[in-house]
């Protein structure tokens, strides 16, 4: 079942849709069964899993290679996996890079596209998204570490409304919570 969202959020970009549809770690949801996931989830506490996801995000930031920009600071979140919400959870870390000229962001986005495969990521989607501005977007998957990344290069388009930025969302596969962990209310 898909949660209801405000009409402005219903128009999801093709890359975000690909993140949900194209990647095995996300399309299968989280399940008790290794057969359903294709891997055995690592047993890890929620805070440690968040730290790992932030570390993966830091690697993505380093691949972009823009040190003089500003970043948003939302922190990493966690959610129970649908298939086994009492035992399995995934983490996510959305953030943005801004405060530098659009041309510098374009070069950083190109570095990310080039660096991901060198670091063991498989790019599963790349190109203009379906937004009015046709922002360049990529989605990549790390089967080894069970993470996915979606990045969008937002430069001012026809509407002239956006400030130049790179928006990044890192999502983990499922982790198994240690025995006795209550996953109700994690965020």
* pLDDT tens, residue by residue, 64-74: 999 999 999 88
What pLDDT does 1 receive? 33
Range(s) of the domain holding residue 107: 13-176
What pLDDT does 180 receive? 92
Beta bridge partners of 11: none
**Would residue 125 count as lying in a domain?**
yes
Per-chain mean pLDDT for the chain? 82
Please answer whether residues 147 and 171 qualify as being in contact, where contact means their C-beta atoms are separated by less than 8 angstroms: yes
Q: Report how far residue 87's alpha carbon sits from residue 59's, in angstroms, rounded to the nearest whole number.
A: 28
- Residue found under tokens 């996953």: 183
Answer yes or no: pTM beyond 0.85: no
Please answer whether residues 7 and 59 qualify as being in contact, where contact means their C-beta atoms are separated by less than 8 angstroms: no
Q: Report how far residue 53's alpha carbon sits from residue 72's, in angstroms, rounded to the nearest whole number.
A: 16
Instruction: Name the band, by pLDDT with cuts 50, 70 and 90, for residue 79.
Output: very high
Q: Report how far residue 54's alpha carbon sits from residue 127's, in angstroms, rounded to the nearest whole number.
A: 26
What pLDDT does 159 receive? 60
Q: Report how far residue 179's alpha carbon sits from residue 177's, in angstroms, rounded to the nearest whole number.
A: 6
pLDDT at 2 over 60: no
**Would residue 107 count as lying in a domain?**
yes
Residue 156's nearest CA partner among 129, 125, 134, 126 is 134
* pLDDT tens, residue by residue, 94-125: 999 999 999 999 999 999 999 999 999 999 99
**Would residue 183 count as lying in a domain?**
no
Q: Which two tokens stand for residue 182?
A: 């209550």
pLDDT at 11 over 50: no
DSSP 3-state of 11: coil
Find the helix or strand (DSSP H, E) in which 146 lies: none
Q: How many domains does the chain have?
A: 1
**Would residue 80 count as lying in a domain?**
yes
CA distances from residue 132 to 14, 105, 128, 129 in whole angstroms, order as listed: 12, 19, 10, 9
Which regions of 49-164 does DSSP assign to beta strands (E)? 70-71, 77-80, 88-98, 122-128, 136-142, 147-154
Task: Say if strands 165-172 and 147-154 run parallel, antiparallel, or are unpaired.
Answer: antiparallel
* pLDDT tens, residue by residue, 22-63: 344 443 444 444 557 778 999 999 999 999 999 999 999 999
**Would residue 58 count as lying in a domain?**
yes
**Would residue 2 count as lying in a domain?**
no
Q: Report how far residue 58's alpha carbon sits from residue 62's, in angstroms, rounded to the nearest whole number.
A: 6
CATH code for the domain of 30: 3.30.2030
Q: Report how far residue 147's alpha carbon sits from residue 143's, in angstroms, rounded to the nearest whole number.
A: 7
């Amino acid at each position: 079942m898909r949660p209801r969202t405000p009409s402005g959020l219903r128009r999801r970009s093709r890359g975000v849709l690909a993140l949900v549809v194209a990647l095995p770690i996300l399309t299968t949801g989280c399940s008790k069964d290794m057969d359903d996931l294709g891997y055995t989830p690592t047993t890890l506490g929620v805070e440690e899993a968040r730290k790992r996801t932030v570390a993966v995000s830091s690697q993505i930031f380093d691949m972009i290679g823009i040190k003089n920009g500003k970043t948003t600071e939302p922190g990493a979140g966690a959610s129970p996996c649908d298939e086994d919400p009492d035992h399995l959870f995934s983490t996510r870390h959305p953030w943005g890079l801004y405060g530098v000229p659009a041309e510098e962001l374009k070069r950083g986005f190109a570095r990310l596209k080039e660096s991901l495969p060198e670091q063991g990521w498989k790019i599963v989607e790349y190109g203009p998204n379906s937004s009015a501005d046709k922002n360049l977007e990529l989605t990549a998957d790390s089967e080894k570490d069970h993470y996915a990344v979606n990045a969008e290069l937002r430069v001012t388009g026809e509407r002239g409304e956006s400030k130049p930025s790179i928006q990044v969302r890192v999502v983990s596969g499922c982790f198994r919570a240690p025995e006795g962990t209550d996953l109700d209310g994690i965020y």
